[in-house]
Amino acid sequence: MTNSKNAAATIAKASASDEYAGMSAGITVYANNPLNTKEDTTSASMRRVLDVKDPMPLDTAVLRGDAFKGSETRSASRIQEIVQKDAILSSDSDYGAAKKEVIYQDVPTNGRWRESGVLLHITSLPSPYGIGAMGDEARAFMDFLVASGQRLWQILPLGMTGYGDSPYQSFSTRAGNPYLIDPLTLVREGLLDKEDLDRIPFGDDPDRVNYSLISRNRPTMLRLAWTRFKEGSFASMMRSFSDFREAEEASWLREFACFMSIKHLYSGVSWDKWPEPLRMRDDDALEAYASEHQDDILYYEFVQFLFFRQWKALLDDAHERGIEIVGDLPIYVAYDSVEVWSQPHLFQLDEQLLPTFVAGCPPDAFSDDGQLWGNPLYKWDVLAEDDFRFWVDRIRFQLRLVDRLRIDHFRGLESYWSVPFGDTTARRGNWISGPAEDLLEAIGNAVDLRIIFAEDLGFITPEVLALRDRFALPGMKVLQFAFNPEATSEHIPHNLDYHNVLYTGTHDNDTIRGWFEDWDPKEVAFARKYLGISDDEGIVTGMMRGAATSVCRTVIYQMQDILELGNESRMNEPATMSGNWQWRMRPGMLTKDRIRFLYDLTKMSGRLPEQQGDVPKPVSCIAAEW
């Protein structure tokens, strides 16, 4: 069959399948991938140009500290040049313009420097293909960060989304989310034709991700790319794929690909619903399955190859611009994950491999029933037997992909809320002691803890704070929590310190505008008085100014707040099961006005990179033996 006939057959077949819908919920990466050319890539000669000629494993590439090679600072005149030349794109048709040269400086590891950044998950970037991806729009956003004087781009977890479309409920702690693979990059590489994309519906709502549609049609796109890859002339890319498999299969890739292939065969049901020989991992059954479904297993390995190939290219482009990526590590693993299926002895499961106790949070002022997350709890005593290798490997893996890392629900490492499996609320839970110092010492022996910070929100005890402070981990503060009229909140600016990471709001919060409209009027009035916010300035600008001018070294703004959006753009509402993780930024929102506003705020508060002076390079975040 010709490529066009293959494409038509694949797309037609997909109408009866739904590869990811219904599913509940060590990297070596190869780069030198020219993503920014705009030429037609359908010819064989152009495919050869776009193939990766010199695949370079991340382990042999320069480490984080050397990725920022320049010592010059980004000057104010350079920022003005970017703005004047429309380097930051403000219309849908402009996305994908050529990269601009950016001057940068090294990131300091000591001294009293100041910095700021933006929280925006990749899924929220504009895209004509239903969901944000690692393509031109991501690079346009990084140009926006540079022009507005920011150093940090914080994202949510990069893993495959599972139950509830949440990035915190993933099928794997290592595999990347295939929804983030950029379609146009695949076109440039010759793996797809633009006409293929035009025939596949990805959703036409510029404000919301349609995950139901994406879960059906993104796999259609990727399986078509897999077919083209097998049938086409991609010699260099095939060598890179072979190298990727050789480097990653033994540690995680083969197990994950087999897991996803079985899940696909059984219509996406959780692994505990599979036939018993596969559920219980009978060796003969797994060997027979792998032999019979080799092509499908290879497809899932290929998708991961594409993901990490694109991610490495995006990370390199971030470093060229002087931007650091801040990642996010969920504390728990999803029950419907390859880790729980392949290593059940590490989790609190019974003889039938069902959870005995699950994770959550106790009732509080925001929820009378608490939050029932449902993740299986760890057997910390078993994990301790090999010095927490499972957790250390998770951390090291993530730090090969990002520059700094937030540990979600840090308080669960000191003690965690344990809820009997089968309960419908988190009310009957109990606090159980966690691994605390033992785990953090093991992590500290493997990585530099200076690039890790703790999400220490919620019910925090003196023991949690002592654990955080013993290992000198910065904690988080949220300005929206600051303004009880008694002025006693630990989040209020006069109670903050230099090492706090301060947010105007997180992905779990209202936007500032939504907070102003829906929150306790007494607290809103106190915020106005405390920060001296006038009607002319407005609550959004005033709150952002309050964060920017705080003593905190690092300030992170929600992108929705920079755009002054309301709660229609809220990313997640905890303890709700639907409608989350869907917000998308519209094309054209990255305007000169928003650049100037954020740049002026950053300069006024002394957070521009060029205001920090000469600073040393960061040390590698990976231990020497890695």
pLDDT in tens, 444-501: 999 999 999 999 998 899 999 999 999 999 999 999 999 999 999 999 999 999 999 9
Residue 219 CA to residue 303 CA, distance in Å, equals 9
Residue 246 is a catalytic residue? no
pLDDT in tens, 141-182: 999 999 999 999 999 999 998 878 999 999 999 999 999 999
Residue 455 is a catalytic residue? yes
Residue 614 CA to residue 609 CA, distance in Å, equals 10
pLDDT at 485: 93
DSSP state for residue 117 in the 8-state scheme: E
| Position 594 confidence tier, pLDDT thresholds 50, 70, 90 | very high
What stretch of H or E contains 307?
A: helix 294-320
**Is the CB of residue 251 less than 8 Å from the CB of residue 27?**
no
Instruction: Locate 171 and state its tokens.
Output: 């099928």
Q: Residue written as tokens 């970037």?
A: 125
Q: Which member of 94, 243, 272, 508 is catalytic?
A: 508
pLDDT in tens, 251-274: 999 999 999 999 999 999 999 999
Residue 480 CA to residue 520 CA, distance in Å, equals 11
- What is the three-class DSSP state of 154? strand
Q: How far is residue 356 CA from its own chain's centroid?
A: 30
Residue 252 has phi, psi (to 5 degrees) of -165, -30
Residue 591 CA to residue 527 CA, distance in Å, equals 28
Q: Which member of 408, 448, 564, 573 is catalytic?
A: 408
Q: Mean per-residue pLDDT for 591-604?
A: 97
- For 570-595, b where at least 16 C-beta lie within 10 A, e where not — what string? bbbeebeeeebbbbbbebeebeeebb
pLDDT at 366: 73
pLDDT at 111: 54
Residue 3 CA to residue 589 CA, distance in Å, equals 37
pLDDT at 19: 55
Q: Which member of 296, 324, 328, 455 is catalytic?
A: 455
- What is the three-class DSSP state of 12? helix
Asked whether residue 94 carries a pLDDT value surpassing 60, the answer given is no
Q: Which of 508, 586, 592, 593 is nearest to 124 (CA)?
A: 586
288 vs 96, higher pLDDT: 288
For 430, residues 6+ apart whose C-beta sits below 8 A from its C-beta are 417, 418
pLDDT in tens, 297-354: 999 999 999 999 999 999 999 999 999 999 999 999 999 999 999 999 999 999 999 9
pLDDT in tens, 403-450: 999 999 999 999 999 999 999 999 999 999 999 999 999 999 999 999
236 vs 38, higher pLDDT: 236
For 488, residues 6+ apart whose C-beta sits below 8 A from its C-beta are none
Residue 123 CA to residue 23 CA, distance in Å, equals 19
| Beta strands 115-119 and 152-154, pairing class | parallel
Length of the chain counted residue by residue = 626
Residue 408 is a catalytic residue? yes
Instruction: Locate 582 and state its tokens.
Output: 């869907």
Instruction: Locate 124 and state its tokens.
Output: 């929220």
Which range is least confidently modeled, 356-360, 475-479, 542-546, 613-617?
A: 613-617
Q: Helix 254-265 to helix 283-292 angle, to the nearest 10 degrees?
A: 80
DSSP state for residue 430 in the 8-state scheme: E
Q: Which of 438, 360, 361, 356 is nearest to 392 (CA)?
A: 438
